[in-house]
Amino acid sequence: MKADHRVLSSILLIGLIASISNTSTGQDVKKIGIPELEKILKSPDDKLFVVNFWATWCAPCVKELPLFEKAAGKYDKSKVSFLLISLDFPSQIEKQLIPFLKKNNISLDVTVMTNLDYNSWIDKVDPSWHGNIPATLFFNNQKKKRHFHAGEVDGNELEKLITRYL
């Protein structure tokens, strides 16, 4: 009887630890396809959206992620919304992406693009985009402001772009 109680207690403890480890960063990675991306890009909200396209295997992308985290802490969420769209394989969310986010203390909203045929959707982001990452889109549809930045941004440049399009 004591052995059964210990086994049950161990199973409950393992379950609790697993649930805590999955939510310790508060990170909920969502999958999106083209329709969801189009909805984001057509947002009628009167705020600046900063949408960064990146991947865990892209060194310049990884280098700039802390800059987005830092910038997000400086702005009112009702005025600026940050979204990180990962181009990692959807099958790697649990094994690679979530551990990466936890290790690097990334707390911003992260989605994974499920449509791996980039040519079918990159023009929707910006016609000048050739698919290279990192890439960042700054937009406020209500104010008709839009800027696409191909390549890595540094901290000063990110701040200037946010201020300019805010």
**Mean pLDDT across the chain:** 87
Residues near 134 by beta carbon (within 8 Å), at least 6 away in sequence = 52, 53, 54, 58, 60, 61, 64, 151, 152, 153
Residue with tokens 């791996």: 116
For residue 145, the domain's CATH number is 3.40.30.10
Q: Report the percent of the chain where pLDDT is more than 70.
A: 84
Residues near 43 by beta carbon (within 8 Å), at least 6 away in sequence = 49, 141
Among candidates 125, 123, 143, which has minimal Cα distance to 51?
Answer: 125
Residue-wise pLDDT for 49-68, tens only, equals 999 999 999 999 999 999 99
Distance (Å, rounded) from C-alpha 8 to C-alpha 153?
51
Q: What is residue 11's predicted lDDT score, i.e. its pLDDT?
A: 33
Q: What is residue 27's predicted lDDT score, i.e. its pLDDT?
A: 67
Q: What's at 166, amino acid-wise?
A: L
Residue 12 lies in a domain: no
Residue 150 lies in a domain: yes
What mean pLDDT do residues 114-141 have? 96
Number of domains composing the chain: 1
The residue segments making up the domain with residue 113 are 28-165
**pTM for this predicted structure:** 0.83
Q: What is residue 9's predicted lDDT score, i.e. its pLDDT?
A: 35
Residue 15 lies in a domain: no
